[in-house]
Chain A
Amino acid sequence: MSTTDAATDPEVDEANSTVMDTGDDIRALDTIRRGVHFSPELKEGVWGTLALAVLASVGQVVVPVAVQQTLDRGINGPGGPDVSFTVLMGVAAAAAIVLTSWASYAMTTRLFTTSERGLATLRVKAFRHVHDLPLLTQNTERRGALVARVTSDVDQVSQFLVFGGLLFVVSIGQVLVATVVMVIYSWQLALVVWVCFAPLFLSLRYFQRKLSDAYGTVRRQVGLMLSAISEPVVGAAVVRSYAVEARTQERIDTAISAFQAASTRAQGFTAFSFSLGGVSAGLANAGVLIVGIWLGFAGDITAGEVLAFAFLVTLFVGPVQMGTQILTDAQNAIAGWRRVIGILETPADLVDPGPDGRSLPRGPIDVHLDAVSFSYPGGPRVLRDVTMDIAAGSRIAIVGETGSGKSTFAKLLTRLMDPSEGAVLLDGVDVREISQASLRRSVVLVPQEGFLFDDTVTANVRYGRLGAPEADILASADALGLGDWVAGLPRGLATRVGQRGESLSAGERQLVALLRAHLADPDLLVLDEATSAVDPALEMRIGRALERLMSGRTSVTIAHRLSTAESADEVVVVDKGRVVQRGHHSVLVGQAGSVYAGLHSSWVAQQGR
């Protein structure tokens, strides 16, 4: 019967079990308490809303009382049927109905307002917090789960709060009110009703658990089915060219059948548990009449009172069935709420010193790595004890094989991650002490894949410096030698780039990313060079633009091509997490047998020259 017990079954969310605090151990009441903490709006006027709810539920007993009064004093009155009394009572009851209807309106309105306001706050807070989570930068395939946290999970909580939460309280209130009224009429008959419903109450927990399991299976099967269905769509070319249509169809059919079976099973449980209330009600009705007659002989009760009980029983059944339904929905909602709270309670990996933090002066930055080591949580060490200086204004290329740890440099320098040991210092200041505002102003990373928002080129470039006038954007384009490229776009700067920039080619997306970085005008530029091959003509443009972007700034490039290394002031060679060589290309390439010489010779062979 209690929400607390019913909702504590561990709700394993496969999508995030490995990474985030799923909050599985938060109990239902605790979930609500913490939920209210994150959405303080939910508390506003809750007592007034409850008072209105009580008043509204009184409306439920108006009619049964009116029926009883009419029978006893109107129709079977001592002086025969009394029309004027009945009319008077009818008017009074109508007034009561109007009053309680208003209470119901006021209650529901307040409920919607506070719930929706509270949940909008929760949504926005969770969204903001997701951007502080470390996993985002590492894990592309879990993003769907994060989106679900701020969308469907919150929607579920909203459904529950608006249609369930208070209604559940109201239902319990109605059961209590009905019981009190019943006891006033006859405590013996009230006892009969409760005894008839006892088996239902006692079996409720069992059914809740069954239902919770059944719907958990349904949710898993939906996921599997959707992923099976996506295969012939997303992988259409592969399915066709490997002629695996039959195999794919079989996998889909299996998934569809499994989902169908799981849904049917869950529906069966729901239908059966729902029907139990009706049986209890029939039992209670018969019991009331039989015991009522027996009590009548003893003179304890009138015929009207016995009949009023029949109505009171429906009053009792309604909220009980409602409560059962709400408990089922509550399982999902509480689990969803728990997941959202789980996000909010996952500590942000990077602590922003905020306004107390230090600010970097403008002008090229010098970088110092002091005994920096890094390992992913539970993973092997990616960087080991790296100490290194990068002079202000110099141009560094970091090279190494895949998995050597070179990409980790980019993330540490831009403070996407903090080192496990040691410190990264910019202009002599530990990055952890620099305010995010200042850090993001002075240090810019151009990632491998230039991510674009579904908007115009202007809007995407302006992301580098919000509010920059269009003239500045054009000036950036000219400065990077991209003026003619911009002019050649179908609608110039106003060209829309499509979802994730997909209307542009990979190379063009890079160009927009470079424009964005130029507009941001950083003092330390960190580039993670793109590996994907693009049209050679475009490749050349990118190279030129990069060249101009780097001039006058400190730049660190994670180089995947040795041509980049050749043109750098200094090359840093990383191997198995350690810096093994440093110096100018011309020097390093001559060190026979070194890692760099090896990389270089394989690259030369590659280029076929």
Chain B
Amino acid sequence: MTDQQVAARGSTTRDGFAVLLVAIKREPWIFGVSTVGSLLFGALTVADAWVLGWSTDHVVLPAFDQGKVDGSLLLAILALFLGVAILRAVGIVARRLGAGVMQYRMQAHTRRAVTRQYLSLPMEWHQRHPTGQLLSNANADVEAAWGPIAPLPMAVGTVAMMVIAIIQMLVADVVMALVGLLVFPAVVLANLAYQRLASPLMTRAQQLRAEVSEIAHESFDGAMVVKTLGREPEEMARFAAKAEELRDVNIRAGRIRAAFDPTLAALPNIGVLVVLSVGVSRVLSGATDAGDVVTVAYLLTIVSFPIRSIGWLLGEFPRSVVGFRRVSEVLEARGEMRYGDRSATAEGVGAHVTVENLAYSYDPEQSVLDDVSFVVEPGRTVALVGATASGKSTLTNLMTRLVDPDGGRIIVDGTDLRELAAGELARSVSTVPQSAFLFDDTVRDNVALGADVSDEQIWSALRAAQADGFVAALSHGLDTRLGERGTSLSGGQRQRISLARALVRRPRLLILDDATSAVDPEVEARILAALRSDAGGATLVVVAYRKATIALADEVVHLENGRIADRGTHRELLERSPSYANLVNAYEQQAELAGDMP
């Protein structure tokens, strides 16, 4: 890791500037404002020294020599200092606010673009990318990519300020200016040395922070196990080991900082002392005057501090370049789903579904579905039954067009799914996945999801999903907030909300992918009963393990290794297919076995 960093150092600086250029091109105006602000600040900081020098030579020293002073000169001092100070304040606000506005705007642009990609890229792409990575692409990586914008105007201003200061020193006195010319590069070099020594430690600390956080997450997640086995001391030891490692790295980074901070402060101070010594002999020889000595000394003091901002800028580059690359990968991903222009036709309440020679595979070596064909007549219920990895969930994903098949097609009401216009499919097909996803929103909005439905319709859907009872008991009823920041519901309750979401749309085809797995069997029985009466007329495709669910179906499609092993009613399959009987009877066998044993 560190070897690569060192090897890539040269190009990192170049790439860092390239990333900045993207931002400058996108927001040229605001970059201009903040840079002008920074230059104003820099110029006026230097002007401050000039005002002090001018006042020394033209007002203070003559006044002390002559014992009198012109009132207008005093007024000039006041006007000069105050004017410079106010303009400088304007510069500071323009610089800092400008940098902030630019940074937040770039973050917002990128986040909008990234989330648009998330919404348009197909499910296959989502399945290939871990959730945590996608979240950090839109958050931490965006922040890292535009991190250098914050110190940018200051660094630009500082460079300008250094140039101006050096010119001014040269004008004041060439010999003294040479001293300054030695101090500035020395400060820049010291800064770079600091970055170089400290950044591996900072990176390590960042890594350790992530590890500490992972341990805490895992340990708190498994709190029940930790508690019931009394493993708190061991968990504490595990956490403490990482926390102490982090502590030691922080202390080491602290030592480096402790050494560099006073060094960076001392360099210009030593420079000032040298300037004073040289200055005295220069004044003695008549080459310069006291005012110039003061000016050069002052310039050294004030310009040295902001030089650090160049170090800050360069220090942000490695993080920025990595973040930008990761974000770019998302933005450059291609493969949106293509839609046709047909709209869904609706005759009767239930949809007619034809699955034709369907084939699908995640990798070419191993097909998940192979030559699957069946027809579901309107209003009928089909159960998809099969062992783990037999292809049931893939089939439901294909039916809702989360993915497109490699071969064959699915026809709903006479139209190939791929020919439907965007959004059309959702008008007639609703699906309920096994793991219910709830939005950070109210119960009402979670069920309606923007559809135009009345509260009565929502309640009736909740009733059919057996969710009306606990929703009514929530503190704010339909207005109760769910999701991450809201009330926490049990797995079964979440599934029931998710089911109500499908039911409220009165879909022509309802697909349940083991959607009641976390619901108590008694409650599930009531849901199934309600579905038979309430969703009356809709075509139903159900992935199920439980016999009661399976027995409800008009027809069972038995999948084995991605192929249809058999089709028929539950009773028929039980009689003629030993492998089917084995599968669905395993449950009872277990019960009998338990009864036999002492």
A binds B: yes
Q: Known A281-B85, A563-B590; judge A233-B134 contact (CB<8 A).
A: yes
By a CB distance below 8 angstroms, the chain B residues around A285 are 48, 51-52, 81, 85
CB–CB B224/A606 < 8 A: no
Closest B residue, CB atoms, query A526: B228
Per the bound structure, the CA–CA distance linking A63 and B305 in Å amounts to 15
CB–CB B597/A444 < 8 A: no
Closest B residue, CB atoms, query A414: B228
CB–CB A247/B449 < 8 A: yes
Q: Known A444-B229, A547-B597; judge A116-B272 contact (CB<8 A).
A: no
CB–CB A136/B276 < 8 A: no
> Does B452 sit at the interface, judged by CB under 8 A?
no
> Does B232 sit at the interface, judged by CB under 8 A?
yes
Contact of A271 among B93, B277, B290 (CB under 8 A): B93
Minimum CB–CB distance from B128 to chain A (whole Å) comes to 12
> Does A607 sit at the interface, judged by CB under 8 A?
yes
Per the bound structure, the CA–CA distance linking A266 and B323 in Å amounts to 25
By a CB distance below 8 angstroms, the chain B residues around A139 are 488
Minimum CB–CB distance from A360 to chain B (whole Å) comes to 13
Contact with A along B221-262 (1 / 0, CB 8 A): 111111111111011100110011011001101110111011
By a CB distance below 8 angstroms, the chain A residues around B431 are 237, 241
Minimum CB–CB distance from A606 to chain B (whole Å) comes to 4
Minimum CB–CB distance from B415 to chain A (whole Å) comes to 16
By a CB distance below 8 angstroms, the chain B residues around A105 are 258-259, 261-262
By a CB distance below 8 angstroms, the chain A residues around B111 are 225, 229, 252, 256
- Of A1-9, A204-212, A302-310, the segment with at least 4 beta carbons within 8 Å of chain B is A302-310
| Interface set, chain A 219-251, CB cutoff 8 A to B | 223-245, 247-249
Closest A residue, CB atoms, query B98: A271
CB–CB A116/B251 < 8 A: yes
CB–CB A119/B247 < 8 A: yes
By a CB distance below 8 angstroms, the chain A residues around B498 are 238
By a CB distance below 8 angstroms, the chain B residues around A297 are 63, 67-69
Closest A residue, CB atoms, query B520: A402
| Interface set, chain A 248-288, CB cutoff 8 A to B | 248-249, 252-253, 256-257, 259-260, 263-264, 267-268, 270-272, 274-276, 278-279, 281-283, 285-286
Contact of A124 among B97, B225, B240, B293 (CB under 8 A): B240
By a CB distance below 8 angstroms, the chain A residues around B213 are 147, 151
Closest A residue, CB atoms, query B438: A235
> Does A172 sit at the interface, judged by CB under 8 A?
no
Per the bound structure, the CA–CA distance linking A71 and B290 in Å amounts to 7
| Interface set, chain B 108-140, CB cutoff 8 A to A | 108, 111-112, 115-116, 118-120, 123, 126, 131, 134-135, 138-139
> Does B198 sit at the interface, judged by CB under 8 A?
no
Contact of B593 among A63, A131, A225, A544 (CB under 8 A): A544
> Does A195 sit at the interface, judged by CB under 8 A?
no
Q: Known A97-B269, A147-B220, A444-B228; judge A235-B60 contact (CB<8 A).
A: no
Per the bound structure, the CA–CA distance linking A520 and B78 in Å amounts to 83
- Of A23-31, A106-114, A173-181, A573-581, the segment with at least 4 beta carbons within 8 Å of chain B is A106-114
B81, B108, B422, B488 — most chain A CB neighbours (10 Å)? B81
CB–CB A605/B85 < 8 A: no
B55, B61, B69, B517 — most chain A CB neighbours (10 Å)? B55
Minimum CB–CB distance from A20 to chain B (whole Å) comes to 13
A124, A401, A561 — most chain B CB neighbours (10 Å)? A124
CB–CB A243/B522 < 8 A: no
Per the bound structure, the CA–CA distance linking A566 and B597 in Å amounts to 12
For the residues of B in contact with A, the DSSP-based class is: helix
| Interface set, chain A 589-609, CB cutoff 8 A to B | 599, 602-603, 605-609
Per the bound structure, the CA–CA distance linking A292 and B63 in Å amounts to 10
CB–CB A108/B236 < 8 A: no
Q: Known A243-B426, A536-B583; judge A401-B522 contact (CB<8 A).
A: yes
CB–CB A276/B221 < 8 A: no
For the residues of A in contact with B, the DSSP-based class is: helix
CB–CB A440/B229 < 8 A: yes
Minimum CB–CB distance from B532 to chain A (whole Å) comes to 13
By a CB distance below 8 angstroms, the chain B residues around A233 are 118, 126, 131, 134-135, 138
CB–CB A536/B258 < 8 A: no
> Does A549 sit at the interface, judged by CB under 8 A?
no
By a CB distance below 8 angstroms, the chain B residues around A543 are 590-591, 593-594
Closest B residue, CB atoms, query A567: B594
By a CB distance below 8 angstroms, the chain A residues around B301 are 63, 311, 314
| Interface set, chain B 64-92, CB cutoff 8 A to A | 64, 67-69, 74, 77-78, 80-82, 84-86, 88-90, 92
Contact of B108 among A87, A106, A260, A439 (CB under 8 A): A260
Q: Known A80-B284, A289-B59, A416-B228; judge A270-B96 contact (CB<8 A).
A: yes
Closest B residue, CB atoms, query A146: B220
CB–CB B522/A244 < 8 A: no
Per the bound structure, the CA–CA distance linking A86 and B176 in Å amounts to 15
Minimum CB–CB distance from A147 to chain B (whole Å) comes to 5
Minimum CB–CB distance from A604 to chain B (whole Å) comes to 10
By a CB distance below 8 angstroms, the chain A residues around B95 are 271
Per the bound structure, the CA–CA distance linking A449 and B247 in Å amounts to 35
Minimum CB–CB distance from B122 to chain A (whole Å) comes to 9
Q: Known A71-B290, A233-B126, A257-B108; judge A241-B430 contact (CB<8 A).
A: yes
Closest B residue, CB atoms, query A150: B216
CB–CB A286/B501 < 8 A: no
> Does B586 sit at the interface, judged by CB under 8 A?
yes
> Does A67 sit at the interface, judged by CB under 8 A?
yes
Per the bound structure, the CA–CA distance linking A306 and B59 in Å amounts to 12
Minimum CB–CB distance from B255 to chain A (whole Å) comes to 6
A132, A142, A244 — most chain B CB neighbours (10 Å)? A244
Closest A residue, CB atoms, query B67: A297
- Of B13-21, B312-320, B546-554, the segment with at least 4 beta carbons within 8 Å of chain A is B546-554
**Given A90-B276, A244-B450, A271-B96, 9 extra CB contacts under 8 A:** A66-B272, A111-B254, A112-B257, A131-B236, A136-B223, A241-B400, A274-B92, A466-B231, A606-B525
17 contacts between A and B (CB under 8 A): A83-B284, A101-B262, A112-B250, A123-B212, A131-B232, A229-B138, A233-B134, A244-B449, A282-B84, A416-B224, A451-B225, A452-B222, A563-B594, A567-B595, A602-B522, A606-B521, A608-B570
Pairs of residues from A and B, 7 with the lowest C-beta to C-beta distance, nearest first: A282-B85, A440-B230, A112-B254, A536-B586, A267-B100, A108-B258, A243-B426
